[in-house]
């Protein structure tokens, strides 16, 4: 049985067959998540908008169920998204499994499982750390991603040229506003001194730059679900070019 979808725009009608089934953002590793999870596709897009490369440290200070660190690991090792999930077309009578297997083999050949990764996810809630660890294991990264229960203000590093990508609370609820404002101040005090690090934060809070303590190098409008947000980008110093 195929699911038919009908879309009407002005005087044009489109009929399409749903080949995916469940949404494409569902990669097949996140069976458990927090109350307001970041979609996997959104997380991957955020990482792609940064200057991160798999040979540089990657940190998510608000990792929640681990979506950003896991998507970074998939990108870092060039693993095809959704390679571990099922699709609706696999149940069609005229589906040729051998064609699908060829595509999976091609994706497997392009993956670089030997690429070392330096990825860490942090969260103040120990339950989220347990959840993120579980999801990372489901995604095939039981040891490649480090998760640690930690407040933003406690983060320290001796490494250079790292990249921070975070989806902190937005303070949409009035009772959370004071907590979120203090959190953004701590974020700035923690990461602004790291001159070689680049920081990328998504939030709907309009006065983020003021609380962070610096104007973003670049700001990009994005929609996290139906919430209009800005992706604040603070670019650190570039790593030196390797000597030839």
Task: In whole angstroms, give the CA distance from residue 139 to residue 10.
Answer: 42
Given this model, what pLDDT does residue 73 score? 97
Question: Rounded to a whole number, what is the largest CA-CA distance in the chain?
Answer: 61
Given this model, what pLDDT does residue 1 score? 63
| 15: three-class secondary structure by DSSP | strand
Give me the domains of the chain, ranges plus CATH numbers. 1-29+82-111 (no CATH), 31-77+112-234 (3.40.50.150)
Per-residue pLDDT for the chain (244 aa), expressed as one digit of tens each? 677 888 898 889 998 887 776 766 667 666 555 555 788 999 999 999 999 999 999 999 999 999 999 999 999 999 988 777 777 777 777 778 888 888 888 988 999 999 999 999 999 999 999 999 999 999 899 999 999 999 999 999 999 999 999 999 998 776 788 999 999 999 999 999 999 999 999 999 999 999 999 999 999 999 998 899 999 999 999 888 877 6
Contact 40, 107 (CB under 8 A): no
User: In the chain, which ranges are continuous DSSP H helix?
Assistant: 40-48, 67-76, 97-110, 126-138, 177-191, 208-212
């Amino acid at each position: 049985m195929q699911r038919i979808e009908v879309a009407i725009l002005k005087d044009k009608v489109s009929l399409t067959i749903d080949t995916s089934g469940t949404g494409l953002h569902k990669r097949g590793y996140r069976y458990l998540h927090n109350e307001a999870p970041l979609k996997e596709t959104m997380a991957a897009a955020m990482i792609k908008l940064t200057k991160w490369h798999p040979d540089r440290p990657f940190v998510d200070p608000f990792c929640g169920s681990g979506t950003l660190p896991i998507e970074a690991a998939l990108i870092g090792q060039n693993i095809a998204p959704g390679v571990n999930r099922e699709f609706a077309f696999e149940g069609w009578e005229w589906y040729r499994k051998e064609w699908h297997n060829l595509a999976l083999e091609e994706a497997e050949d392009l993956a670089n499982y030997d690429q070392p990764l330096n990825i860490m996810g942090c969260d103040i809630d120990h339950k989220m750390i347990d959840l993120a660890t579980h999801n990372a294991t489901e995604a095939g990264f039981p040891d490649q991603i480090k998760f640690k229960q930690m407040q933003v203000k406690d983060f320290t590093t001796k490494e250079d040229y790292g990249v921070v990508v975070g989806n902190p609370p937005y303070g949409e609820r009035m009772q959370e506003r004071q907590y979120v404002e203090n959190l953004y101040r701590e974020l700035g005090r923690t990461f602004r001194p790291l001159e070689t690090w680049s920081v990328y934060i998504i939030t709907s809070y309009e006065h983020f730059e003021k609380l962070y303590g610096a104007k973003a190098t670049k700001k990009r409008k994005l929609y996290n679900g139906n919430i209009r947000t800005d992706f604040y980008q603070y670019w650190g110093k570039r790593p030196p070019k390797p000597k030839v």
